[in-house]
Structure 1
Amino acid sequence: MTRSDPPEDADARRAVAPVICYPVDALPPPDMDFYERARADMELQQTQIVPPREAAAIRVPAGHVLRLKSVDGPQVGDLNLFADDDLSERFYSGKTRALHGTHLSTGDRMWSSFPHLRPMATVIHDTLDWYGIDTFGGSVHDVIGTRCDPYTGNLLSGTQYHHCCHSNLTRALAAETGLSLKDAEAHVHDVLNVFMCTGFTRDTGQYFMKASPVRPGDYLDLFAEIDLLAVLSACPGGDCSAEHSSDAAACYPLLMEVFRPASLAGWEPPAKNGYDGSHGVHVPSGEGGL
């Protein structure tokens, strides 16, 4: 493929400084002192093992802490979050990425879909926060990948693989809610790639993965800002050092734990987004909104 000839001022155009699309300075900062107090005195309420190449669901009441934990070996997970009473309010990976960046860690929030757009969960502790950004541009807990799925596998290699994260999440959500597989699949969405180490190549801009630095005992703590239904898949790629839809990779279970803090003094659940929903269309008084 040939490229167009660059203009004379190409270097100057490339040198234009970037502007952050969504500055978050106006957002209320998370009260990390409160979250640390909550973590310091909390009681285990329930546990759920996620088997290798499978997914499982757990319900997390507002004001509780969901811990996602590596237990036996290096393993990444794909996480979906839903409002417990409304599956249409679900984790919005793209908007979370636009607000907080390509990878999440302590102090970042997981935002819900339109029209709700409110914090669903706040990352309050991350034992992998030491990793930072490596020399390849890789980091941990990304919101840039979608989830491994059978459709892309079929497109690229003609396979019929059923234990990718999309299918795992679909089965687990159907089992938890009683929905059919078809109806459950419509709710499965782009994920938080827990423990996965990813980035974009500098030359081609392609999404890459590399061996996760996660160790047994590492965990990510999420504070539930609303009542949540969490569904987690233990990715068939294991630590994703080679491939992510395969029965060849070494895979390990993950653990979900729900803790109840002793005190929630000073905390209130977030309100739904305050936009009026009119989208610029005037509704005469007395005729109701859209």
Structure 2
Amino acid sequence: MKLHGLACPSGGVLGGMVTMERTLVPAGEGRAVRVAAGRRVRVVDVEGGQVGDLFAFAADDPREHLSAAHTRSVTSRLFPRVGEAFVTDRRRPILTLEGDTSPGSHDMLIAACDPARYEGLGVPGHASCAGNLESALAEMGLSIATVPQPVNVFMRIPVEESGRLRWLAAESRAGDAVTFEAAMDCVVVVSACPQDLAGINGDGPTPMAIDVL
């Protein structure tokens, strides 16, 4: 969906030369978008309380991807502040955190849920963020050898003083959004996490949206 010069429900008035392309991500599914360098991409929690697994890949070589581990080594933080960049496994900036209207709880420690995770929980065949990533890339004719560590927007995993991690329900509200600026041409994938057993998505998964501005 493209909106030209219109007020849009996820924030702001788009006027003049500004265009917004919205991709809806159904609950429990994933979608991919191409983002040119210099454009902004906004991940929106449509109904509130939903975790989104975000991945980003260099458009010219998807073997290069956003790396949570390399980003932590650059920023010396568990999650970048506004104005700081996420970098790839080749230590090149790929996305810069431009804005965040949520309470600010995000995670870069927890791996994407996958079939093995759900088999261990006793629900084989359950949808997963790893599967959503692979399906979304396949629709673009792309594939990857391994699933990178995602950027888990709106995911609340506080680290206790003892080092123990706590799994808490997302506290994002309807319409809360995280906005990034692309530092290179890239493919961004968002999975509206299908996890409905650990409580991170409250009463259950809900939709998300990807806005390319």
User: Shorter-chain TM-score: which interval?
Assistant: 0.7 to 0.9
- Matched AA of 1:251: P
2:76 aligned with 1:104, yes or no?
no
Instruction: Flag the structure with larger Rg.
Output: 1
User: What is residue 3 of structure 1 aligned with on the other side?
Assistant: none
Contact conserved, 1:104 with 1:142, CA < 8 A, in 2? no
Counterpart pick for 1:164 among 110, 114, 128: 128
User: What is residue 125 of structure 1 aligned with on the other side?
Assistant: 99
2:193 aligned with 1:228, yes or no?
no
Q: CA RMSD in A?
A: 2.5
Once the two structures are TM-superposed, the CA of residue 189 in structure 1 deviates from its matched residue by 1.0
**Count of residues in correspondence between the two structures:** 199
Higher helix share: 1
CA pair 73-85 structure 1, distance change in 2 beyond 3 A:
same
Counterpart pick for 1:210 among 168, 173, 190: 168
2:203 aligned with 1:257, yes or no?
no
Once the two structures are TM-superposed, the CA of residue 97 in structure 1 deviates from its matched residue by 1.7
1:60-99 to 2 correspondences below 5 Å: 60-99=35-74
CA pair 199-62 structure 1, distance change in 2 beyond 3 A:
same
Once the two structures are TM-superposed, the CA of residue 42 in structure 1 deviates from its matched residue by 7.1
Once the two structures are TM-superposed, the CA of residue 187 in structure 1 deviates from its matched residue by 4.4
Contact conserved, 2:51 with 2:200, CA < 8 A, in 1? no
Unaligned runs of 5+ in 2: 1-13
Distance 2:24 2:94 in 1: 22
Counterpart pick for 2:34 among 41, 50, 59: 59
- Matched AA of 1:209: W
User: What is residue 89 of structure 2 aligned with on the other side?
Assistant: 113
Counterpart pick for 1:242 among 191, 194, 199: 199
2:147 aligned with 1:193, yes or no?
no
CA pair 243-69 structure 1, distance change in 2 beyond 3 A:
closer
CA-to-aligned-CA distance 1:185-217 (integer Å, 9 cap, x gap): 5243111001111122333x3332212110111
Once the two structures are TM-superposed, the CA of residue 249 in structure 1 deviates from its matched residue by 4.2
Distance 1:87 1:143 in 2: 20
Once the two structures are TM-superposed, the CA of residue 141 in structure 1 deviates from its matched residue by 1.7
Contact conserved, 1:124 with 1:222, CA < 8 A, in 2? yes
CA-to-aligned-CA distance 1:213-242 (integer Å, 9 cap, x gap): 10111111100010010011001136x872
Distance 2:203 2:28 in 1: 10
Percent of residue pairs identical: 32
Unaligned runs of 5+ in 1: 1-38, 132-139, 260-290
CA pair 157-211 structure 1, distance change in 2 beyond 3 A:
closer
Distance 1:219 1:190 in 2: 21
Once the two structures are TM-superposed, the CA of residue 93 in structure 1 deviates from its matched residue by 0.9
CA pair 44-105 structure 1, distance change in 2 beyond 3 A:
farther
Distance 1:144 1:223 in 2: 22
Counterpart pick for 2:107 among 142, 148, 155: 142
- Matched AA of 1:92: S
User: What is residue 174 of structure 1 aligned with on the other side?
Assistant: 138
Once the two structures are TM-superposed, the CA of residue 104 in structure 1 deviates from its matched residue by 3.0
Q: TM-score, normalised by structure 1?
A: 0.63
Contact conserved, 1:93 with 1:192, CA < 8 A, in 2? yes
CA pair 235-228 structure 1, distance change in 2 beyond 3 A:
same
